Chain A
């Protein structure tokens, strides 16, 4: 099983729709989880951290399922500007930024 696995997509979604994607991770000792957004030819930027209790930031909701070892990202009322690649990030060794592993990303295209 790959350390961090994501469906590469692309996900083609009409504007205004709700879209969700998951990420699975292999290390059950992982403690920290994040979603990053990367626009074409740009640097990744932190979108949100993922907490055990789940968290919401505007139209974005992140959930963590430790039992099944997956993380999800839900985007409601999608906008054209949400088109990007979304990277799932998990820490490898149970703590500390030195152990972060990035998924290869899920490509999202919002269509007008």
Chain B
């Protein structure tokens, strides 16, 4: 079954504590990306990757890092989370845009 998985699904953390949200796809897609969704602002792209070792900034990259060491995984890293990064995060795979189930992050 074609799948995009994200972990964790829910996370409450404190300001400044580094965290990683993992994303994995089993469809052999070259393209992957991360979005955040906030009330009133909609979905905004954070980073995207066209292939292994190829990443680029989206519309709101500040405060985030990504890596793409292998095709199936595209983790999102928050080195020093802040409350304004409280949001719903989606990993997306493929040009057809298969969304993962989302990670609800709260930073206190």
Contact = CB atoms under 8 A, between A and B. Distances in A.
What does DSSP make chain A's interface, helix, strand, loop or mixed? Answer: mixed
A98 B33 CA distance: 8
B102 A103 contact: no
Given A43-B90, A102-B43, A105-B42, A97 B31 contact: yes
A66 interface: no
A98 B50 contact: yes
Contacts of B34: none
Given A43-B102, A104-B42, 15 more contacts: A43-B90, A43-B100, A44-B99, A45-B99, A46-B96, A96-B95, A97-B31, A97-B48, A98-B31, A98-B56, A98-B58, A100-B45, A102-B44, A104-B40, A105-B42
Interface of A: 34, 36, 41-46, 87, 89, 96-98, 100, 102-105
Interface of B: 31, 33, 35, 40-45, 48, 50, 56, 58, 90, 94-97, 99-102
7 contacts: A97-B48, A97-B95, A97-B97, A98-B31, A98-B33, A98-B56, A104-B42
